[in-house]
Amino acid sequence: MTRRDHISSRVTSAQAGGLGVWLRGGLAGLVATALLGGVAGATNDTAPSGGTFAIRASKALICELDGAQAMDRAVILVQDGLIAAVGSEQELDVSEDTPIFDVGASWVMPGMIDLHSHVGGPSGYNDMVFQINSGLRVSATATPGNGRLRRPLAAGITTILYIPGSGTNIGGQGVLLHTHKAGFEDVLVRNPGSLKVAQGDNPKRWGYRMNRALMNHHIRYSLRQGKAYAQRWEAFEQGEAEEPARHINLDVYRDLEAEKIAISTHTQYFQVVLATLRILRQEFGFPTFIDHGSFDSWRLGGVAVDIGVPAILGPREVMWPTSPTRFPQDGRAEGSAWGFQKMGVKLVGFNTDAPVLPQEELPLQSAMGVRYGFDNSDMAAVRGLTIVPAIVCGIGETHGSLEVGKAADLVVLTGDPSDPRTTVQYVWIDGELVYEIPEGVRLW
Amino acid sequence: MIPSALATLLLCATTGLASAAESQTAAVANDQVNVQPASSRKAGATTAPAGEPGGKGLAIKTAKALTVPLEGEQFIDNAIVLVRDGLIEAVGPATQVAIPVGYEVLDIGDQWIAPGMVELHCHIAGTFDINDMVYLTNPGVRASTAVRPGDPKLKQGLAGGVTTVLFIPGSGTNIGGQGVLVKTGLDDYESMEVRNPGSMKLAQAGNPERWLIRPGRSFMNWNTRNTLQRGVAYAKRFEAAEKNGGPKPEKDLQFEVIRSLYKNEAQISTHTQIYQVANMTLTMVAQELGLPVFIDHGTFNAYRVAPRAKELGVNAILGPRGIDVPSFLMQSWAGTNPERIQGVAAGYQERGMDMIGFNTDSPVIPQEELSLQASMAVRYGFKWDNMETIRGLTIIPAKTAGIDHLVGSLEAGKHADLLLLGGDPADPRVGVDAVFIQGKKVYDATTQRRRW
């Protein structure tokens, strides 16, 4: 999907080397570049799309988990949908014929990732015929670029984990999708994206109304079957056993056993999260993350760190002392993100549970995390929208930060994304321009 | 119970996490906030703390004072705020304001000062006995009877910087009764009260349509006009008696509040939204009866009335729904791009209106998130080149409620209702570090348990 066939057809200005002095030429087609070191490409007035181009911004949010977080006067070089280079404008060499898109005072950052979304399709993601539905795939209902994804894209959210509802204990398989409008194969990041498990609350309403003890039994029973199935395949692959019969409900556990995907777990309250940690992670060893993690769940942050379970928090970010209490408190509003961070959890991210909260308000979730105590002094809020969810769902090698070799999912915006007053101006997915806001077209 | 040493540790941890990038400087400033009042208390336990009535003067030095007067410059860098007897004595650049001898000096470094926020749509200043629905019009009912000083929700609102609220009846009937203007952080009703009646609550469309026999908008409109018309006639009889010296008419509890309205001593706060309904507010209340009124909520496509509202001098206090999503109410949506979200505040602003404020309808939205209403307005297109966000949280609601001579800006003679905070109040990541009401420190995140 190339929106512009002639990337450099409107090159109108020239750059006087690394001094940052701009000579607006106005001579269409003329590319006059003085080579005084540093970035040397031809400047572009319109946002480029596809092929090779570079973006120069006043600040780049790098978002490495450990390491570089921000770089001033940065240039990001994109080649064939991937990030080819990242560097300061003084240091980075960009060839003369590479179009450079200078975004002035704006910032550039990796596309944001929401690991709890139900708006990847119109409906049909919460089938409740059975209480355990490991074989169901929401990808069957995915509708790329549907109306509910337009505004998230305009907010800089480039990837979602579209997951089943929480009406049953195992709702089925989520799918990782990009948010732009294209064919399913073009927006597909990974399928299955996760296995959805729901504990407590919602699934209790199923059929004849179950309680947590029976539900936990069901979950353990299913995971046991799945793990045994995966191990039979493992043995077969190592030549130690006969080829097992395929079982459509259990195939997903092979991906879990191989740690290719994780279990996204609808879990909140101390006691329910404790069951999540003990069963899904400690008993079965599957990659698992806490999804929601609201109320007093954060008190288990220490255990979660020890056994390697990250937390993707939302849409309820705070517990009020005035809300009906189930547990002792000290009279203060407690932010979920504050709590998990305080307990030492480094992989803290945010979600919207869209449409519970509008998907485009994902960055607001991080702002409210900060409001209610989450320490953002080293940009943890922005990591919670980018590299953390990428790592948590297993796409950290290819997405979530501005690092060489990763997908060129880029967002240009007027400032810090964790300030809701910031406006997103341009979005690229795999190096293709998928959103921009010229006057009159912006979505808000 | 948490052992006290551990509690202190927890407290340190929370305050340390408080305000994003400024945490270090804020922490330094906070130390200074603590040191001075503590030492003054040691010096003489019997005298009131500096700034309070009976205490000595207090001079606060700040990196930025958001003064937000109705007209003129909206902020002062490197400012000094002088507080005495609970009032602001002077505000100005440090180079121009001399600190009088004997004043206690509070240097808050990089922290900012802003006026306490004014919230004109609050249901949490007391018990929820504020939505009586025996009659369809209840102008005699008073929300002041339900006020509960120190309500925990009010304390949370205070920690979010809200110092004055209009505590109003619900919208279950066409006229829910009389609201009351109160300060949030004080201990007893008498000191809390700013004005009673604070407003008369009128509700049009939506909620009152559910009342008993399910009245429709035409009947409700007639019923409301009937009540107001009779009230105005009552007020005029009093006016005539006062002018001509004749015998005063017999008092009627139902209509006393409409006398206040008629004399412009209180306003009608109107639950109104959707173009057609808001337009009827303007026609019925402002144009036909000439009573002081403001649009409360004003959501969906009600922004289309903005030019007419401006002409009639009717302000808009917007929220808690900040956007008009075309897919939600397509039949009334007026935009051109069917995918565009219309910010409600932006809608009024784009149509030339400037008297725009924000509300929470707490507990619909937690009161401490009042400032977030302004942030989200910006996200959805509201321009804030001249501090319109802060103005919409302070001076504009104060002016709208007719209490701008008391609160809403940092100007000499007004109540010393002050917020000390790590930056722009309209950035939701910024926490309020301390709150003063009438010179009295009523919340201090560094010495009390931070409320979040």
Cβ contact A142:A120 at 8 Å: yes
Tokens of B247: 């015998």
Are the beta carbons of B16 and A442 separated by less than 8 Å?
no
Which residues in B lie closer than 8 A to residue A421 (C-beta atoms)? 375, 378-379, 384, 426-427
* Mean of all residue pLDDT scores within chain A: 88
- Reported as a single tens digit per residue, the pLDDT across B118-173 is 999 999 999 989 999 999 999 999 999 999 998 888 988 999 999 999 999 999 99
Report, as an integer, the average pLDDT of B375-403. Answer: 96
What pLDDT is recorded for position B32? 38
Q: What is the DSSP letter of A341?
A: H
Q: What residues contact residue A211 under an 8 Å CB cut-off, 6+ apart?
A: A204
Q: Are strands A70-79 and A52-61 parallel, antiparallel or unpaired?
A: antiparallel
Report, as an integer, the average pLDDT of B35-42. Answer: 41
- Reported as a single tens digit per residue, the pLDDT across A306-332 is 999 999 999 988 887 665 544 545 567
Which residues in B lie closer than 8 A to residue A419 (C-beta atoms)? 375, 427, 429
Return residues 154-213 of B near A (CB < 8 Å).
156
Q: What residues contact residue A97 under an 8 Å CB cut-off, 6+ apart?
A: A8, A31, A41, A42
Lowest mean pLDDT segment, chosen from A29-33, B98-102, B267-271, B357-361? A29-33
The shortest CB-CB distance from A421 to any of B153, B378, B449 is to B378
What pLDDT is recorded for position B387? 97
Is the pLDDT confidence value at A34 over 90?
Answer: no
Q: Are strands B267-272 and B293-297 parallel, antiparallel or unpaired?
A: parallel
Report, as an integer, the average pLDDT of B241-249. Answer: 92
CA distance to partner chain A, nearest, from residue B444 (Å): 13
Q: Does A59 touch chain B (CB under 8 A)?
A: no
**pLDDT bracket for residue A123 (50, 70, 90):** confident
What is the C-alpha separation between B288 and B229, in angstroms, rounded?
Answer: 10
What pLDDT is recorded for position B36? 41
Which residues in B lie closer than 8 A to residue A440 (C-beta atoms)? 337
Are the beta carbons of A377 and B449 separated by less than 8 Å?
no
Cα atoms found within 13 Å of the Cα of residue A394, Cβ hemisphere only: 23
Which residues in A lie closer than 8 A to residue B384 (C-beta atoms)? 421
- Reported as a single tens digit per residue, the pLDDT across B45-68 is 568 999 999 999 999 999 999 999
Tokens of B83: 């507080």
Most B CBs within 10 Å, among A148, A338, A370, to test the B interface: A370
Which residues in A lie closer than 8 A to residue B451 (C-beta atoms)? 332-333
Query: What's the pTM value of the predicted model, to 2 decimals?
Result: 0.86
What is the C-alpha separation between B260 and B291, in angstroms, rounded?
Answer: 10
Which residues in B lie closer than 8 A to residue A368 (C-beta atoms)? 372, 428
> Which has the closest alpha carbon to A227: A160, A279, A161?
A279
Is the pLDDT confidence value at A60 over 50?
Answer: yes
CA A319 to chain CA mean position, Å: 24
Report, as an integer, the average pLDDT of A6-23. Answer: 28
CA distance to partner chain B, nearest, from residue A261 (Å): 33
Percent of chain A with pLDDT over 70: 87
What is the C-alpha separation between B332 and A271, in angstroms, rounded?
Answer: 47
Report, as an integer, the average pLDDT of A428-436. Answer: 96
What is the C-alpha separation between B326 and B330, in angstroms, rounded?
Answer: 5
Cβ contact B343:A444 at 8 Å: yes
> Which has the closest alpha carbon to A340: A376, A304, A314?
A304
- Reported as a single tens digit per residue, the pLDDT across A144-181 is 988 889 889 999 999 999 999 999 999 999 999 999 99
Cβ contact B59:B94 at 8 Å: no
Most A CBs within 10 Å, among B8, B127, B350, B429, to test the A interface: B429
Lowest mean pLDDT segment, chosen from A194-208, A317-331, B17-31? B17-31
**pLDDT bracket for residue A183 (50, 70, 90):** very high
Return residues 361-380 of A near B (CB < 8 Å).
364, 367-368, 370-377
> Which has the closest alpha carbon to A346: A311, A385, A295?
A311
| Interface size, chain A vs chain B, as Cβ–Cβ contacts under 8 Å | 101
Q: What residues contact residue B61 under an 8 Å CB cut-off, 6+ apart?
A: B78, B79, B80, B94, B105, B106, B107, B108
Most A CBs within 10 Å, among B2, B14, B17, B350, to test the A interface: B17
CA distance to partner chain B, nearest, from residue A324 (Å): 13
What is the C-alpha separation between B27 and B13, in angstroms, rounded?
Answer: 11
The angle at the Cα of B146, spanning B141 to B152, to the nearest 5 degrees, equals 150
Are the beta carbons of A420 and B379 separated by less than 8 Å?
yes
CA distance to partner chain B, nearest, from residue A329 (Å): 9
- Reported as a single tens digit per residue, the pLDDT across B168-217 is 999 999 999 999 999 999 999 999 999 999 999 999 988 999 999 999 99
What are residue A18's phi and psi, to 5 degrees? Answer: -80, 10
Which residues in B lie closer than 8 A to residue A374 (C-beta atoms)? 17
Q: What residues contact residue A24 under an 8 Å CB cut-off, 6+ apart?
A: A12, A13
The shortest CB-CB distance from A331 to any of B153, B384, B449 is to B449
Which residues in B lie closer than 8 A to residue A339 (C-beta atoms)? none
Are the beta carbons of A444 and B340 separated by less than 8 Å?
yes
What is the C-alpha separation between A343 and A383, in angstroms, rounded?
Answer: 18
Lowest mean pLDDT segment, chosen from A195-199, A231-235, B34-38, B349-353? B34-38
CB under 8 A, 24+ apart: contacts of B74-83: B74/B386, B74/B387, B74/B390, B74/B391, B75/B387, B79/B113, B81/B113, B81/B410, B81/B416, B81/B418, B82/B57, B82/B58, B83/B50, B83/B51, B83/B57, B83/B58, B83/B59, B83/B416, B83/B418, B83/B436, B83/B439
Q: Does B334 touch chain A (CB under 8 A)?
A: no
Q: What residues contact residue B427 under an 8 Å CB cut-off, 6+ apart?
A: A419, A421, B375
Which residues in B lie closer than 8 A to residue A321 (C-beta atoms)? 152, 156
